[in-house]
Structure 1
Amino acid sequence: MKIIKYIIPFFLAVNCQLLTVNCFAQQIVKIEGQKYYLHYVEKGNTLYSISKKYDVAIGEIINTNPEVEGGLKVDQVLRIPFKKQDKKGRPDKQPQIEVRYISHVVKEKETLYALSKKYNVKVKDILDANPEAINGLKVGQTLKIPSLQSKDVDEAASKPATEDSLVIHHVRKGDTYFSISKKHNVSIDSIRLLNPNIGKLKEYQALRIPKQNTNWKPKPKPKPKPVLLDTTPLPIRKDTSKIKDTYQVALMLPFYLDMNDTIEVRKKLNEKTRIYYRSEIALQFYEGFLLAVDSLERQGLRIKLFIYDTQNDSATVANLLNGREMPNTDLFIGPLFKSNFEIVSAYAKKWAIPVVCPVPLSNKILLGNAHVSKVVASQAVQAECIAEFTTKNYPDSNTIVISSQAKKDKLLAKIFLRKRTELLFSKDSLINDTAKYVEFAKIYKDSIRPMLSLEKSNIIIIPSNDQAFVSDLLTKLNGFTKEYKIKVFGTEKWQNFDNIEVHYLHDLQVHLPCPSFINYSDEVVKSYLRKFKKRYSAEPGKYGILGFDVAYYYLKALQKNGLYFQKQLADIQVAEISNSFYFFKTGIESGYENGYVNIMKYENYELIKVN
């Protein structure tokens, strides 16, 4: 083991057809051959209280009414699976057994893992109840999902129903998306965007309509309390025992020390020392990390730093975690590769230790582990930031979203449009969303012109990482720049495309989201560059700067708030070199993601920050 040790809702739009809605709680209906109770959601109802009233598992209510995943809303009508009632009007009590089952019909693209997360059960338990599923799931297959009613009700199940700021439409027999859109004078796409969990319409489903509920009143914002600068204490945890004199930190990076040893042994006489090329990222990160440690040590922080060589090998990582010092670790930073990180994050979850992912990895690493935080904003977050920037800065523009037919590109487009709709309908005065969405398999110039406006600025969103698609589209768009005002928004990966004419990027005023940005004219940046060069006789690369920012931010958080620092990440204000931090929790039981994104624009043949 190689270790380096270092000390330091219009209530239902007032629809007269629904004035009898209060009797729903006593009504039993048959929908598609199955009987249901109709439950009218009232103020104060929770998923837990409804499940207890009808003796139906919470997961079964959610499965039957997917629209409640976003939270219960007053005036929703829920379909509760029918159970035979006894003379007292209550569902017959079945013999008390430890496990009850929910029936789930498999949908396209669903996996055992996704179902285990949805119903909060183990994959093994699903397979035990459905041994035929061992060979894979089939669309239309009915599964029995084990359902244990826990004594400890989670936060989502105990959250009371709230008034919806938008109009609620209850689906009636014969309703279609088209008829509903015509009735409320809104687009079908806007209805679908506000109701992402509803596919095929079923009677009594509650749809959110992009029209403001005139009876809804936003909660008044609390008046800020006067702050006395000299007497306001720093925000620290009440349990001061979690503030330690010395913190133990584990930095896990792929140094590939064995490969470097081999290179050294094989080196010829008078040959310069070479470093294994795959070691360079880890070494740069490590060098920046140590500079941050030195700076914080001078500010009174004491840490016991352990450096581990993961070698990008899962067996090596698992072996490292067997070290006697590991359970005493207060913070893990790394590893950098997904397979290695998953091993460490599972260990960190078991021992309730914060673990940091400093590089771009899939957001799956955040699912079900509240101890993980991810430094680099995902492309989904970047798409939402583009939606926020364009909605705020170009509210009256002609917005066009152009996607290729690739699944990932269409998903990013959907995320952008959903966020844009959310932003528009959260405002006091409603704005009619006129954004156009189009998918191209092959791009023709004549198919673009009809979408453009001569009177307004044309904001074109291209959420694609397909270099050939982007290059072809920008070439076509550039032919319109003399007639139309065009601004294009792309993805971070465009910076690496080498087949796009540079003048296209400027003529089309291309904007890109970038998680990191270095302002070389900033004095803090200049100072860091001088210190790095003085110590290592080299300029810091991208990872040398990332290592400093990550170390300084997280170690400062430890110093200020102790072992509970993750719940107070937003309180940490430091002078970063390149990476700014604005963390948000991605789910009740999931981890934290950095939501800070720079919006950069090509101007005078360089990228400048515009947000």
Structure 2
Amino acid sequence: MTSAQNHPLPLSGNKIKLWLLALILISACSPKVQPVGKTRPSQPSTSTVPAKDKKTPASTDKTVVKPQATKVSSFALLLPFSLDNLNSVKGYSAAQLKSANIAVDYYQGFRLALDSLTAQGYNYKLQVFDTKDDAGATHGLSLNPAVNSSNLIVGPVFPQGIKTFIGKPQKLKRPLLSPLAPAAPEEFADANLITINPPLEYHAIAAARFVKGRIKPVKIFILSSGYSDDKKFASPFKMAIDTLSKRKIQVVYTTISKGNLTPLRPHLNNKVENVFIIPSINQQFLSVTLRSLDTLSRKYPVTVIGHPSWEKLSFLKADILQRIKAHITSAERLNYRAAATVHFIRAYRKAYNSEPSSYAYKGFDQAMYFGNVMAQDGNELDHLDKHRYKALHNEFNFIKRPGLGWINTHVGIYKYANFELKQVE
């Protein structure tokens, strides 16, 4: 069973939605929904845990071992609903309402996955807690025995909330999943942390592998805007290239002013690809620099590797990006034509009478993954590297780093072509 009742909810942003959510969180049991999608971890469970209110189908194989019906995997979900604002005179601010809607969408996707797994015969206990996006409330939850006795703590969703929950000195005694924050695990420095959104460092490493393996350049130019934030991508990229090529690929780091690429011309080659790494997201810098690269591409073969956040920058010109053969890394790409995605959308609409947001997909994917992993014999949360998983919006491929916990490192490479992003690796 799970601990929160599942009701259809109106569209995101509607205050009625939050009223209904308040009712959901105080309910006791859940009706089950049918399974949605077929994506499963690469190593499926070796035993099936039947739901308490379901009968296990009779098996024709007399040698089948009887499943362990007693195993129940427990989740503590810590999300910023801020439900106290429903009855307050002030109500929700715009920022609070945005956070609350993220929480609702994530919860609904998460819950849909657990109900689907429950229908397959697994048992879960889901406890949902309101962090109120408040440091005091979050700290209080860190001391709550119901939270700390769960097999997996999911949330808080924002970096500051995670820092508050972990505290100083670090005191996590249970695995904690950072469900949405792309923050580097070094910010939290806790061995029990699970970082599911690949940090920027791993985007840079993936880009370096692509450049070394597919383009095979002799020289790489890193074009900096001069701002220190550029180094967050540029530094791990250079380190990865130096390691992969054993320093045989020359890396030229230069600061570009007003799009002036003239000093680089003597170093360019008109017979092989000239690779440019641009780690900036500054609008003024990108606007002039990309135009200069567009001009340069008329005389020299040019390939550009951009910052992963370029995907969200509406001011970038698609025609220029195509001419300079721009590539970016991305950890999230959804195939709306895939059968599993279609099944999910239909189930979500039926359950909640609304369209799933990106947070709903994330909630669903994460619950499907960890729900399956936790249902297996033993404590598989200690062996996430053995469980690769292709989700609806991403893939999960974890590594363990001492003092930092588990980190998902899967990142794809995409190229701007035909006015859209197409995966190339």
Match of 2:130 in 1: 309
Match of 1:601 in 2: 415
2:320 equivalent to 1:504: yes
Match of 1:249 in 2: 75
Three-state SS of the structure 2 residue aligned to 1:552 is: helix
Match of 1:393 in 2: 214
2:120 equivalent to 1:299: yes
Match of 2:424 in 1: 610
Q: Percent identity?
A: 26
Match of 1:578 in 2: 393
Query: What is the CA-CA distance between 1:608 and the residue it aligns to?
Result: 1.2
1:524 is aligned, of 331, 340, 352, to 340
Match of 1:482 in 2: 298
Greater RCO, 1 or 2 (C-alpha within 8 Å, sep 6+): 2
Match of 2:195 in 1: 374
Q: Deviations over 1:253-280 (max 9, x none)?
A: 11121223448999xxxxxxxx934311
Q: TM-score, normalised by structure 1?
A: 0.56
Q: CA RMSD in A?
A: 2.9
Change (3 A) 1:326 1:448: same
Match of 1:209 in 2: none
Query: What is the CA-CA distance between 1:364 and the residue it aligns to?
Result: 4.5
Change (3 A) 1:276 1:407: closer
Query: What is the CA-CA distance between 1:448 and the residue it aligns to?
Result: 3.7
Q: Deviations over 1:528-566 (max 9, x none)?
A: 11111222222211111111111111121111254x323
CA contact (8 A) 2:369 2:389 kept: yes
Runs (5+) with no aligned partner, structure 1: 9-231, 236-241, 267-274, 426-430
Query: What is the CA-CA distance between 1:321 and the residue it aligns to?
Result: 3.5
Change (3 A) 1:328 1:434: closer
Paired letter, 2:393: S
1:565 is aligned, of 377, 380, 385, to 380
Change (3 A) 1:287 1:576: same
- Measured in 1, the distance between the counterparts of 2:316 and 2:207 equals 21
Q: How does 1:346-425 map to 2 (within 5 A)?
A: 346=167, 350=171, 352-364=173-185, 367-396=188-217, 398-425=219-246
Bigger CA radius of gyration: 1
Q: Deviations over 1:110-144 (max 9, x none)?
A: xxxxxxxxxxxxxxxxxxxxxxxxxxxxxxxxxxx
Three-state SS of the structure 2 residue aligned to 1:505 is: helix
Change (3 A) 1:326 1:511: same
Q: TM-score, normalised by structure 2?
A: 0.79
Paired letter, 1:531: A
Query: What is the CA-CA distance between 1:590 and the residue it aligns to?
Result: 2.3
Change (3 A) 1:378 1:454: same
CA contact (8 A) 2:156 2:178 kept: yes
Match of 1:66 in 2: none
Three-state SS of the structure 1 residue aligned to 2:249 is: coil
CA contact (8 A) 1:383 1:463 kept: no
Q: How does 1:171-570 map to 2 (within 5 A)?
A: 245-262=71-88, 276-346=97-167, 350=171, 352-364=173-185, 367-396=188-217, 398-425=219-246, 432-562=248-378, 564-570=379-385
Paired letter, 2:138: V
Match of 1:102 in 2: none
Match of 1:34 in 2: none
CA contact (8 A) 1:334 1:358 kept: yes
Tell me whether 539-548 or 346-355 shows the greater mean CA deviation. Answer: 346-355
Query: What is the CA-CA distance between 1:419 and the residue it aligns to?
Result: 0.5
CA contact (8 A) 2:80 2:103 kept: yes
Aligned length: 366
CA contact (8 A) 1:348 1:355 kept: no
- Measured in 2, the distance between the counterparts of 1:372 and 1:569 equals 12
Paired letter, 1:248: S
Change (3 A) 1:347 1:243: farther
Paired letter, 1:352: K
Three-state SS of the structure 2 residue aligned to 1:409 is: helix
CA contact (8 A) 2:159 2:181 kept: no
Three-state SS of the structure 2 residue aligned to 1:283 is: helix
Query: What is the CA-CA distance between 1:522 and the residue it aligns to?
Result: 1.3
Tell me whether 382-391 or 516-525 shows the greater mean CA deviation. Answer: 516-525
Q: How does 1:12-91 map to 2 (within 5 A)?
A: none
Three-state SS of the structure 1 residue aligned to 2:220 is: strand
- Measured in 2, the distance between the counterparts of 1:536 and 1:550 equals 19
Query: What is the CA-CA distance between 1:233 and the residue it aligns to?
Result: 9.8
Query: What is the CA-CA distance between 1:409 and the residue it aligns to?
Result: 0.9
Q: Deviations over 1:23-68 (max 9, x none)?
A: xxxxxxxxxxxxxxxxxxxxxxxxxxxxxxxxxxxxxxxxxxxxxx
Three-state SS of the structure 1 residue aligned to 2:250 is: coil
Query: What is the CA-CA distance between 1:473 and the residue it aligns to?
Result: 0.9
Change (3 A) 1:5 1:575: farther
Query: What is the CA-CA distance between 1:348 and the residue it aligns to?
Result: 12
CA contact (8 A) 2:290 2:320 kept: yes
- Measured in 1, the distance between the counterparts of 2:205 and 2:295 equals 29
Query: What is the CA-CA distance between 1:576 and the residue it aligns to?
Result: 0.9
Three-state SS of the structure 2 residue aligned to 1:443 is: coil
Paired letter, 2:307: T
CA contact (8 A) 1:370 1:589 kept: yes
Paired letter, 2:239: R
CA contact (8 A) 2:155 2:177 kept: yes
CA contact (8 A) 2:85 2:91 kept: no
- Measured in 2, the distance between the counterparts of 1:265 and 1:519 equals 38
Change (3 A) 1:264 1:574: farther
Query: What is the CA-CA distance between 1:243 and the residue it aligns to?
Result: 11
CA contact (8 A) 1:581 1:596 kept: yes
Paired letter, 1:538: S
Q: Deviations over 1:418-467 (max 9, x none)?
A: 10111112xxxxx8323322222443142343332101012211112222
Three-state SS of the structure 1 residue aligned to 2:422 is: strand
Three-state SS of the structure 1 residue aligned to 2:285 is: helix
Paired letter, 1:576: A
Change (3 A) 1:243 1:600: farther
- Measured in 2, the distance between the counterparts of 1:265 and 1:436 equals 54
Three-state SS of the structure 2 residue aligned to 1:423 is: helix
